[in-house]
Amino acid sequence: MGQLCKDRVCVVTGAGRGIGREHALLLASHGAKIVVNDLGGSMDGEGHESGPAHDVVAEIVAAGGEAVANTDDISSFDGAEKLIRQAVDTFGDLHAVVNNAGILRDRMLTNMTEAEWDAVIKVHLKGTFGPSHFAAAYWRDRSKAGDSVDGRIINTSSPSGIYGNIGQTNYGAAKAGIAAFTIIASMELARYGVTVNAIAPAALTRMTENLGMGKVDDEMKEKLSPKWIAPLICWLASPESASVTGRVFDITGMEIAVAEGWHKGPTAPARHDPEELGPLVLDLVSQARPNADMFGHDKTDG
């Protein structure tokens, strides 16, 4: 095994199970020192169990790597600050933050409660903002002090956020926000030597079993294994990725693609009279590329 991330200090949130666990294990196998963050809650964010984070740490240490556990709630500002401080205090530096933690509370819009909306937005969107904020402040201070900085923030969006999925207005809105956050943060942090990218993964985990992904054959299970996602994270966390920033990568079923964001489509002069807009708008829409399906393809592609 190579040492793509040798001696780089990496924080991975939601790393006790699923995709995050694969990130942490592969980064460690490539020489990174890992802070394994996991609150240990259920899929919907309830409860708190320290076991998953410590189990992953034990697995890394048994394989000869270096890791510590963190069970702070990264959706709180205090928890996010403690997480970043622990990385720096324990290992003396920080090179990459992988924002992976998430929950699901799927519901159709007409039935969704305020609590279901707030919980998902808090964990995904604020849980990305908090660790990123404190990491960015650390790197900014290092840069202003004249130190060389080679920082990475790697966020987790979703096909539900960049393409859309029924029953996930809360989750999709959070994940779309993370995609926009990624692009803007990449612009702000470039001056400090920090890149910001995101992935939009689809994999078979406990979070996707209830979405129909658990009822697949062995071949599809292999294609949708979380292990196919971790290599991209490992490369993005490494020094080799310094020239790539502000990108969202669609990674699904052993395939990597660059997700291309919003672009201005068919255009026409504006009108003062709203009664004139009907034919104009219908014509523009008829010329426009249709929205993508959950696989990122035009819905008319069949």
Judged by DSSP in three states, 81 sits in helix
C-alpha gyration radius of the chain: 20
| Angle, helices 169-189/127-144, rounded to nearest 10 degrees | 10
Number of residues assigned to the chain:
302
Q: Say whether 141 sits in a helix, a strand or coil.
A: helix
- Name the nearest CA neighbour of 77 among 34, 140, 15, 129: 129
45's torsion region: left (phi>0), alpha (psi -120 to 50) or beta? left
| pLDDT tens digits in sequence order for the chain, 302 residues long | 679 999 999 999 999 999 999 999 999 999 999 999 999 854 554 545 568 999 999 999 999 999 999 999 999 999 999 999 999 999 999 999 999 999 999 999 999 999 999 999 999 999 999 999 999 999 999 999 999 999 999 999 999 999 999 999 999 999 999 999 999 999 999 999 999 999 999 877 555 455 444 466 677 777 778 889 999 999 999 999 999 999 999 998 779 999 999 999 999 999 989 999 999 999 999 999 999 988 898 876 54
Contact 153, 100 (CB under 8 A): no
79 neighbors 112 (Cβ within 8 angstroms): no
> Crossing angle, helix 18-29 and helix 230-237, to 10 degrees?
50
- Identify the structural domains of the chain with CATH numbers, from first to last: 9-259 (3.40.50.720), 266-302 (no CATH)
Identify the CA nearest to 29 among candidates 223, 185, 180, 234: 234
Tokens matching residue 217? 């054959």
What pLDDT score was predicted for residue 149? Answer: 98
What residues are annotated to the active site?
A: 171
Q: What is the pLDDT of residue 103?
A: 94
Give residues with Cβ within 8 angstroms of 32, minimum separation 6.
5, 6, 7, 8, 9, 10, 65, 95, 96, 237
Helix (H, G, I), strand (E, B) or coil at 88: helix
First-to-last alpha carbon distance for the chain, in angstroms, is: 41
In the chain, which ranges are continuous DSSP H helix? 18-29, 51-62, 77-91, 114-121, 127-144, 159-162, 169-189, 218-223, 230-237, 277-287
SS3 at position 68: strand
